[in-house]
Amino acid sequence: MSGAAVKRTPFFKILVANRGEIALRVMRTARRLGYGVVAVYSDADRDALHVREADQAVRIGEALPAQSYLRIDAIIAAAGASGAGAVHPGYGFLAENEDLARACRDAGLVFIGPSPEAIRVMGNKAGAKDIMREAGVPCVPGYQGADQGDAVMLGEARAIGFPVMIKAVAGGGGRGMRLVADAATFPDALRSARSEAQGAFGDPTVILERAIVDPRHIEIQIFGDRHGNAIHLGERDCSVQRRHQKLIEEAPSPAVTPELRARMGAVAVQAVKAIGYEGAGTLEFLLDREGHFYFMEMNTRLQVEHPVTEAITGLDLVELQLRVASGEPLGVRQEDITFSGHAIEVRLCSEDAGHDFMPQSGTMALWQMPENIRVEHALQSGSEIPPFYDSMIAKVISHGATRDEARGKLICGLEQVAAFGVTTNQGFLIDCLRHPVFAKGEATTAFVGANRDVLLAPRADRAADVALAALLLYVTNPHAPRWQRGRSLAATFPLGLRIDLGHGVQEIEILRERDGSYVAARDGDRYGFEIDEFGEDTIRFRRNGLMESARFLRDGDRLHVLHRGAALSARDLTLAGPESATAAGGDGKVRAAMNGRVVAVLVKAGDTVKAGQPVMTLEAMKMEHVHTAGVAGTVAAIDVAEGEQVTTGKIVVEIEAAA
């Protein structure tokens, strides 16, 4: 295409139609290139960091914050009000929405992404697979027909053969995706997938695919421009997942040879050239044990995991997006792309890995990130983690000359993360990185499931952690004698403590010896501590001849501790009365396990239920969570309605236990 025939689309101010660390990431590059930046926000994000960091910010949401960022009319109006000439959708919410791309075009705004036609063709899983088949690219066998009737879907699933994957035709991120083992569980899984897809993407349509056993999840990063150029930037391995959502990504993949990389990259470039694709995109494949790859879908946007590609190529992918959107050529040829070293990224999420990765919300009392490693985040101490959005709160990225070096740097970086007040998956990520299977580069999509018991097992020295927490509760108690170095002439008496680390109440005694040391006694075991230094938020101590240190934060009757990369939260119950109710529902009352929205009430008053039977589905942080009966009996009352927003601990269903 000649330069004279290419339409340039200059812009000088960019509205970022996203939130949090995604918005900040885009703003950082935009500012470096001299663009003004505009933020949008829901009521829940009024005081968020991305709002304060922008040149201007426009409110677009009210009662349902999660839906606010999906309001195309509000985004277009915000661009007009702020004088922005371009809209960057980030890499969530509306990033793959053809209606937003078309609305921008109609309003005379530059959409920093592919055309609405390309999004429609390649952003739809079913349509993209048809194009790939015509191009001779192997695809996973499945069904992507227009007839979405329950009977038809079940029949097609039987024809494909179980196990099958149900996938939302729009969007990604594991939403609207279910692995179904047999025909008996298919109807419930189909309903749940449709409901989740409707809530996340506004489209309940799904496709079916044969489930390939223990594959690698490999994706190829591509870029195209309006001058007819297209390149690939190598692959990323995104195999470590939970709930079909990625947790750890790396580049290059330990399973991809240079020859395989060239073949997969050529296929990806050929596909995007065929449709005249402009901007960033990612083609996702499953790689089986024999080295055969199958196309799954294309994400017509920048990916969450793009920093690992930036690390090994030295390119700023947001900069490439902005240059392409303004009509400039890519400025880099395939032969110019070189790969240096290895990079790994982990997604730090506000979730409780030990309780089925249940999302968590609340106030982040202390938030401090390591300074010697790349961290993408939008939080600070005191930030509120709302229940309306994805549970990912930060990305931590390392780069090294070798994979082992990158892995070691990432483990050290994660061990320094101080995230107190909201439970995160910090310790789980460290355990994943340390696991021999991951260390050898052999992790597949089955990694978390196959090693779940080991990855979620209590730490071997958990009893010592309990003792350390008790010691810190004792020495940080404002009514306790202040710690002083050296011997004590005062008589010492043991002090009994009752503490809760989230998994039951522990009884423990603390005694200060005359030599200045402390002893924590529990269940006949004694743990000796010598305190060398005791500051406002750090303690240095010796135990069994080993000197160690820990970070801590005392917040009323709660204590947060970071020790050896594991974050602990302890509550002092010594003066508290007994708690009568149980969140597990053993008293017949089913309580909401998190803040969220009721999407389905599965029983009605008078129904007879069994213990463990699903009774309600709650949506939180874009995922559905089924709540079950704690006891067998009769449903006495339904205390919520579908669509209602509930808070953690609210009684949603009451069951009268069977005699």
Which is more confidently placed, 3 or 66? Answer: 66
Side-chain-side CA neighbours of 432 within 13 Å: the count stands at 30
pLDDT at 125: 74
- Going by C-beta distance under 8 Å and a sequence separation of 6 or more, which residues neighbour residue 338? 313
- Position of tokens 């997604």? 347
Helix axis angle, 20-32 to 317-325, nearest 10°: 70
pLDDT at 392: 94
- In angstroms, the first-to-last Cα distance of the chain is 80
Average pLDDT over residues 576-597: 66
Class for domain 141-210, per CATH?
A: alpha beta
For the chain, the maximum distance between any two Cα atoms, rounded to a whole number of angstroms, is 91
- Average pLDDT for the chain: 90
Average pLDDT over residues 189-206: 88
**Domain 216-455 grouped into CATH 3.40.50.970:** no
pLDDT at 584: 45
- Confidence label for 2 from pLDDT (cuts 50, 70 and 90): very low
The Cα–Cα gap between 656 and 636 comes to: 6
The Cα–Cα gap between 96 and 110 comes to: 15
Cβ atoms within 10 Å, residue 656: 12
Instruction: State which fold the 589-657 domain adopts.
Output: OB fold (Dihydrolipoamide Acetyltransferase, E2P) (2.40.50)
H or E element in which residue 102 lies: helix 98-106
pLDDT at 490: 57
The Cα–Cα gap between 156 and 69 comes to: 36
Over the Cα atoms of the chain, what is R_g? 27
Give domain limits for the chain.
7-112, 141-210, 216-455, 462-572, 589-657
Q: What percent of the chain has pLDDT over 90?
A: 61
Residue 209 has φ and ψ, to the nearest 5°, of -140, 145
- Same CATH fold assignment for domains 7-112 and 462-572: no
Question: Does pLDDT of 581 surpass 60?
Answer: no
For residue range 417-436, list pLDDT tens digits in order: 999 999 999 999 999 999 99
- What is residue 174's three-state secondary structure? coil
Instruction: Tell the burial category of 109 from Cβ atoms under 10 Å away from its Cβ (0-12, 13-18, 19+).
Output: buried
- Confidence label for 133 from pLDDT (cuts 50, 70 and 90): confident
- Cα separations in angstroms, 575 against 341, 468, 501: 55, 20, 16
Question: Does pLDDT of 505 surpass 80?
Answer: yes
**Domain 7-112 grouped into CATH 3.90.870.10:** no
CATH: 3.40.605.10, 3.30.70.240, 3.30.700.40, 2.60.40.3140. Which one for 462-572? Answer: 3.30.700.40
Question: Looking at the annotation, which residues are catalytic?
Answer: 301
